[in-house]
Amino acid sequence: MSVEVLDGATILSFVEDEEAFSEFIAERFNNLDKDHDGILSYSEMLKELQGLRVFDTHFGIDVKTDPNEVSRVYSSIFVQFDRDSNGTVDLEEFKQEMKEMMMAMANGLGFLPIQMVLEENSFLKKAVDRELKYYSI
């Protein structure tokens, strides 16, 4: 983990970089697709959903939630990814939803840079690394 400074533009420019974004999504997707059948089941997606940390984003304070509530929220997010409601998430669905989530996050951040603790290989870390590389040329 590392502490990085980012703003909405950091995320936006990454999402809008079609090549870098597609590459990141494909890599992420393949990592999650444990049985390599080209689609993500709910149990494969669960790892990603847990990584989104929907429950501990309240200013770093751990929010205690009961397991039923947690699984209810996870399945509602899964349904959001599964756009054609066939019970699995394919690469295109994964990419579309990730894109929308990142755009929403970028809009939320706006143009005021903030400091965040980022995990290696997380989406935001990639976005920051990409920006640093871009500006150092």
71 or 80: CB nearest Ca ion: 80
33 contributes a contact to Ca ion by CB under 5 A: yes
100 contributes a contact to Ca ion by CB under 5 A: no
Pick from 84, 55, 80: which is nearest to 67 by CA?
55
Give whole-number Cα distances, 3 to 28, 83, 119, 128, in Å: 22, 34, 9, 11
**Structure-derived torsion over alpha carbons of residues 39, 118, 104, 52, reported in degrees to the nearest 10:** 40
Give the distance, in angstroms, between the CA of residue 20 and the centroid of all CA atoms in the same chain.
14
4 or 93: CB nearest Ca ion: 93
Please pick, from the candidates 1, 3, 19, 35, the single residue that binds Ca ion as defined by CB under 5 A. 35
Q: How far is the CB of 55 from Ca ion (least distance, A)?
A: 25
92 contributes a contact to Ca ion by CB under 5 A: no
d(CA 63, CA 58) in angstroms, rounded, equals 7
7 or 97: CB nearest Ca ion: 97
Q: How far is the CB of 51 from Ca ion (least distance, A)?
A: 17
- Chain residues binding Ca ion by CB under 5 A are 33, 35, 37, 82, 84, 86
